[in-house]
Structure 1
Amino acid sequence: MDFSNRYVALGDSFTEGVGDHAPELPNGVRGWADRLAAHLASQDGDWGYANLAIRGRKMAQILDEQLEPALAMQPTLVTIYSGVNDLMRPAVDIDALLVSYDEAIGRLVGSGAQVLMFTGFDAKVSKIFARLRGRTAIYNELVREISDKHGTGLVDFWRFREFDDWRMWAEDRIHMSAPGHQRMAQRVLDALGRPSSLPEPELPDLEAKSVAERLREQAEWTRDHVGPWIGRRVRGASSGDDLAPRWPQLRRP
């Protein structure tokens, strides 16, 4: 199927759409990239869309598995978010990581595609992930250098303070909620310089909770999400090990 505009999304759980539950869709999620693609098609129907992102993927896996298939589709627009899973490992060579990223971005830009990169989020509101702020800041500065070098667009997630609101995050406190994905789609449209008719995210009302309720929620979160996450790291496993890309071929959004 031929399209005059072809959008290919690359990355990990952030781009796959984890946290935006949609049982009727592949892998049970929707996400900001699906929302973006549908909006682009509503403005100009001649869009093809593929999403190659898979949760848990690290930088080398994303580049090894997704770059060549993306280039083969001759994309006119590419979004790529990669490397944050690497930052969560006990040890990481951020400089070496970004050398590979630089080469991949150069190839994407050289194909003629419009490319959008992302910085990592400033997780200062999280007691667990706030310890990664230093790594993420270094990663972000290198991402900005690569973006400047190749002339890509940049979605500067680090500076999006609305995501300090926990209602923008799913129950696991790692992935964005449906409102968070909706807001990210708006932010990406802003970075593309395109007008948005997407509605504002509908946030649930804030609930006043007792100390006991907050402690119980913290214990449940640790049991249901932190424990399994640590267990996968110990085993060298990933939540995406048995998953395939949601939209591996260009399709109408």
Structure 2
Amino acid sequence: MCTSAESQDPYCLREGESARLLAGHPWRRFAVLGDSVAEGLAEPVPGYSEVQLADRIAAELRATAPGFEYLNLGHRGLRTREIRERQLVPALAFHPDLALVVCGGNDAFPATYRPDPVADELRTMVVALQESGAEVITVGLYNVSYSPSTEIADWLRPGLRKRMQTLSERTKAIAEELGTLHVNLTAHPAATDPNLYSSDGRHGNARSDAIALAEAVRTLGTHLEKTRQHARGN
């Protein structure tokens, strides 16, 4: 259940919304691949759940699906190539029917970011998961250049902002190319709010996770409704 501030946040889930949107969903095996966003390093915010994002998504899915299984392979500090090298094989061995892939932030943070190789690694993971029978969720990350942290020098912010935007655009293009479910947090109206970010300058906080949860659940709910309409021939 949402805590007080979260339940009143206009961008977060309303009471009963998740159960309504996810009722009857078909997924029973959920795998998460990624970096610290997948692992969960969001700082606490008073009035918001301290449960990390991937765990919260899994909990919402489990609430309406008896026998639901969840594997989180996320680990902090990894670049996209390392995520593919270390996590793709165990993810496939889990035989997921739904997979969340969160990556690219550690590639785009430094000025050495090269968009094409990062995009190729993401595409490889998505294709492999889809070919194994999983529906895949990709994510356009929050743009951490808006963090107020003193860990990011002001002169570095324009370049970082551009790189994070490029990463988001390339991820969205892959989502459209391959037909993934896509959660675009980069374009969220709250994404430029400095209060959405942790003090380390690299991550969102508990409020950002609550908003991301709402966007993920709504994306899944919209997909389910479209699938049902198609099955009805509408």
Task: Tell me if both proteins adopt one fold, taking TM over 0.5 as the criterion.
Answer: yes
The SS at the match of 1:164 is coil
**What amino acid does structure 2 have at the position aligned with 1:64?**
E
Instruction: State the one-letter code of the partner of 1:164.
Output: T
Q: Are the aligned partners of 1:106 and 1:150 in contact in 2 as well (CA < 8 Å)?
A: yes
| Aligned-pair CA distance for 1:166 | 3.1
Aligned to 2:178: 150
Q: 1:104, CA displacement in angstroms? A: 1.7
Q: Mapping of 1:166-205 within 5 angstroms?
A: 166-193=194-221
Bigger drift between 54-63 and 92-101 goes to 92-101
**Aligned runs of 1:74-223 on 2, under 5 Å?**
74-123=95-144, 125-126=146-147, 127=154, 128-193=156-221
Aligned pair count reads 186
Using the TM superposition, name which of 95-104 and 33-42 deviates more.
95-104
Q: Give distance in 1, aligned partners of 2:174 and 2:201.
A: 29
Using the aligned pairs only, state the percent identity: 27
Cα contact 1:155–1:191 (8 A) shared by 2: yes
Counterpart residue number, 1:33: 54
1:61/1:70 CA distance change after superposition, 3 Å: same
Larger Cα Rg: Structure 1 or Structure 2? 1
Aligned residues of 2:28 and 2:69 also touching (Cα < 8 A): yes
CA apart distance, 1:20? 4.4
Moved more, 104-113 or 186-195: 186-195
What is the TM-score normalised by the length of structure 1?
Answer: 0.67
Shift of 1:14: 0.9
> For 1:16 and 1:171, how far apart are their aligned partners in 2?
18
Which residue identity is paired with 1:151? G
* TM-score normalised by the chain length of structure 2: 0.72
Judge which range, 101-110 or 87-96, deviates more. Answer: 87-96
RMSD of aligned alpha carbons:
2.2
Q: Where do 5+ consecutive residues of structure 1 fail to align? A: 22-28, 196-253
Note the 1:6-85 alignment, pairs <5 A.
6-20=29-43, 30-85=51-106
Instruction: Give deviations 1:64-108, integer Å, cap 9, x for gaps.
Output: 000110000000110011111011223132112212221221111
Post-superposition shift, 1:158?
Answer: 1.0
Contact 1:5 1:76 in 2 (8 A): yes
Deviations 1:191-234 (A, max 9, x none): 11269xxxxxxxxxxxxxxxxxxxxxxxxxxxxxxxxxxxxxxx
| Unpaired stretches in structure 2, ≥5 consecutive residues | 1-25, 45-49, 148-153, 224-234
